Structure 1
């Protein structure tokens, strides 16, 4: 309900964005999933459907049109984690080399743009599958001749896959390809609560019945009923979903109360499983009661990805790689489950001071990673350094005070939609193109930002 729907083509979409003003500059990739659906119709949403050569040619032409209109590049998703509202895999999951190379030929033809993607190469224990995905990435970078970045994270099933991927990236760069790993500065954290989207009991039939066609407060009242609790716990004992969902539903040793400031490197002895053991209670029963705290608004932090060994040592290894970009904020996606738009604050506040293992990175290197290095990758060469002739985009930070408060649940989206909103302490001023946009963390009303079309400077 928040969309204006005054656009159809990608150039139209950019024109709609350009009518607005922002507190920062923004850019957009042309997304493969929407492109596929536009050209192929309903079949485009089915990842087993193979486009004809004519459809591939049409997608290439539309990508070229988008680049000419100002798209930063082309993005695609090859992960089973990304699904439609009804749980189906999205259409781009298993796109063939012919499809990907056919579409991205537009970047070579245009002589501009970057490729950005996510692949399941990082999460699989299957060496052959991982190698096939990495070879496809190599082919795309080689045939387009353009810069490419892709997500690299750590999962419990393949905790050292990232090292293998980094080795392959080294080989690609030695070949002359500009390929980067997009990495995160902390775990990808799921926020579990009865007051929002996800919690350990959210796939039980009784919980779903409580949530169906009910307001948040109505749901919380029902969940506090001892009889409802007993039914949900009985159902939960028999639910064993596959993959990452299993961790969300049963991983009580990875669930932690959110503190203020938030601890993004929690130890297992502080988990709900450990608390339950000390209280002599079953973890699920104990966790249910914890989630009822604060009137049902208690937040539980679960480091789902990038925390296979219970610390941030491997995250530091990824961040320290020679060919990396900082990213993966999910600042707008999964907004009732994940609140990781605060990644830059963690990067500056945690890694400049050091992790619990004593690992740290110079402040200047961290700032560079979020400013000039990322900007240069997408062709924005007019920013990211304090120098005459460059944009006056600055943050004035009290580093000793830099901390993150726990997220809050707010219902300020169109039609009353729920999201998690997190604030930070320690930012004195934020300046965009010379205008103060935030002071003491509060918006000043200034909107000097705009849509940027393609490369700058």
Structure 2
């Protein structure tokens, strides 16, 4: 009897970390029904000989909360083997929302995550008030990837406390009594967890820290009590780290984890200004985990770097002459910069701007294009190349910016500046691969391509991780952390989320700006090569980087 799909002869990497093996995979409907030598014929058959066959990747840290409404394929994640995404990170969500509260939430998302508020307001229906109603809205959207979400502390606090939610004073018992039912409603409706922001870096447009930044532990522990009734949920945080705060912060996460019986995850990166901080935090995490907590810091596999260039923002946009070019088409920028007289004026203005611009140009690099690399050498910096040529920083920057028909990009690593330190963190079994930020920082960074970078750089080139371990890091590890059932592994009965990959042919394409958000807002995207097919719930979703038209993504609920 024929089955719907048979994938033949691929090297199966099942997501558990077990050694690869050659096998066929049979799919009926949205489930895998057989792995091994499949005698049944398939209504569709795919020859995977010479390729690896893996579970679809599970990205636990995205901000696609709005984008899915107008971009059902969830780009750029779809170009990097991702089949399941988690929304609602860092405490910033669009529900619960009070009457007339949409603008405040949209502007907060723009301020924190650099997603244009105008696009959010115009792209969403806002036909909800509770988080459960928001999840139903997402469930009804046609989408190519499986989607789950956490309820955000910022929205909960704002809905319960209004303007007082931004105060530095603790919430009152009455305030907490109003918030707890909102969190319970979200969990009852299938939220994967609860998220909060405690970092002083996250601020609303007027400069104040987002709601929840100053929340006392009593408030967060009240939410943990709710989560204790919903096993499989997760507590996520943008943490308050540094100085004397670090130990108390991690201890509080330990208390939350033990009370709720749930994992706690938070972003952790190496930073040059405090090179030992991440190691200190890991020590604190190990101490809490030894006391019964279940804490999983998450980090990236490469540096997080700001992208700049003529097609996006430049370091000199506030300088005379440069400011007037910000909104010009790229072609017109090139014409102006290429004009000798205009060029000299722009160089002069940029030099004056440098006097008040605190950038370390020895850590500022032109992003290579063939291949795209992130393992920079000191001699590749803008400062080093300018010094070698005997020209000014602005001259060097302009000369390189005009390459690739003006589409050359520059990167300034700001977190995980020492990529080896990030990779070393990932060797620890309790540290999770995350922080890819798909959908966020739209004209600042491009980290949603993380799966492709991790596999090509750390697995294939550096051999720091085996292929089997690398795949596990992005599949069963992330799915299990967020309680996502029957995904992240290839086994009989699991959902048929599958990648077929030409591993040796895998590569990153160059990032580019596209203006495809509502209202024409721009964003960075980055495609890849090597993903022959990405299958979601039994249907081929992406084929050689192109959407097939299938939109079979489902909701992920606790």
TM-score normalized by structure 2?
A: 0.73
Contact 1:141/1:179 (8 A) holds in 2: yes
Per the TM alignment, residue 88 of structure 1 is displaced from its structure 2 partner at its CA by 4.2
**Residue of structure 1 in register with 2:174 after alignment:** 54
1:342-353 maps to which residues of 2 (within 5 A)? 342-353=449-460
Contact 1:206/1:231 (8 A) holds in 2: no
**Residue of structure 1 in register with 2:536 after alignment:** 432
Quick one: distance in 2 between partners of 1:251 and 1:83?
27
**1:131 has 2:247 as partner:** yes
Which moved further from structure 2: 293-302 or 262-271?
293-302
Quick one: distance in 1 between partners of 2:443 and 2:309?
10
**Residue of structure 1 in register with 2:219 after alignment:** 99
**Residue of structure 2 in register with 1:77 after alignment:** 197
Quick one: distance in 2 between partners of 1:145 and 1:434?
34
Contact 1:252/1:283 (8 A) holds in 2: no
1:415-454 maps to which residues of 2 (within 5 A)? 415-454=519-558
Which structure is higher in helix share?
1
Which moved further from structure 2: 343-352 or 24-33?
343-352
Per the TM alignment, residue 136 of structure 1 is displaced from its structure 2 partner at its CA by 2.2
Contact 1:47/1:90 (8 A) holds in 2: no
Contact 1:20/1:450 (8 A) holds in 2: no
Contact 1:306/1:315 (8 A) holds in 2: yes
**Residue of structure 2 in register with 1:341 after alignment:** 448
**Residue of structure 1 in register with 2:237 after alignment:** 117
Quick one: distance in 1 between partners of 2:488 and 2:421?
27
**Residue of structure 1 in register with 2:268 after alignment:** 152
**Residue of structure 1 in register with 2:146 after alignment:** 25
Change (3 A) 1:281 1:87: farther
| Per-residue CA distance 1:193-230 (angstroms, 9 max, x = gap) | 1322x43224557645653x766666666666336514
**Residue of structure 1 in register with 2:315 after alignment:** 200
Contact 2:363/2:412 (8 A) holds in 1: no
SS class of match (2:472): helix
**Residue of structure 2 in register with 1:163 after alignment:** 279
| Per-residue CA distance 1:250-296 (angstroms, 9 max, x = gap) | 43433223323210211121111111111111224422443344554
Aligned residue pairs: how many? 434
**1:374 has 2:478 as partner:** yes
Contact 2:254/2:289 (8 A) holds in 1: no
Quick one: distance in 2 between partners of 1:69 and 1:205?
53
Contact 1:205/1:235 (8 A) holds in 2: no
Quick one: distance in 2 between partners of 1:85 and 1:207?
25
Which consecutive unaligned segments of at least 5 residues does structure 1 have? 241-245
Quick one: distance in 2 between partners of 1:120 and 1:453?
28
**Residue of structure 2 in register with 1:243 after alignment:** none
Per the TM alignment, residue 104 of structure 1 is displaced from its structure 2 partner at its CA by 3.1
SS class of match (1:303): strand
| Per-residue CA distance 1:318-370 (angstroms, 9 max, x = gap) | 11012011111111110111111010111122222243xxx511111111111
**1:259 has 2:376 as partner:** no
| Per-residue CA distance 1:166-207 (angstroms, 9 max, x = gap) | 1222122211211111121111122111322x4322455764
Change (3 A) 1:307 1:143: same
**Bigger Rg, which one:** 2
Per the TM alignment, residue 39 of structure 1 is displaced from its structure 2 partner at its CA by 1.6
Contact 2:361/2:381 (8 A) holds in 1: no
RMSD: 2.3
Change (3 A) 1:263 1:330: same
Quick one: distance in 2 between partners of 1:169 and 1:336?
33
SS class of match (2:123): coil
| Per-residue CA distance 1:31-54 (angstroms, 9 max, x = gap) | 11122222222332x252532221
Q: Which has the higher contact order (CA 8 A, sep 6+)?
A: 2
Match for 2:396 among 278, 286, 310? 286
Quick one: distance in 2 between partners of 1:219 and 1:85?
30
Per the TM alignment, residue 10 of structure 1 is displaced from its structure 2 partner at its CA by 0.8
Change (3 A) 1:398 1:294: closer
Quick one: distance in 2 between partners of 1:208 and 1:84?
25
Quick one: distance in 2 between partners of 1:275 and 1:88?
40
Which moved further from structure 2: 137-146 or 274-283?
137-146
**1:301 has 2:411 as partner:** yes
Change (3 A) 1:94 1:260: farther
**1:391 has 2:495 as partner:** yes
Which consecutive unaligned segments of at least 5 residues does structure 2 have? 1-121
| Per-residue CA distance 1:109-130 (angstroms, 9 max, x = gap) | 4445210112142xx3x2x222
Change (3 A) 1:371 1:54: same
| Per-residue CA distance 1:53-93 (angstroms, 9 max, x = gap) | 21122111101110001110001112233233455432233
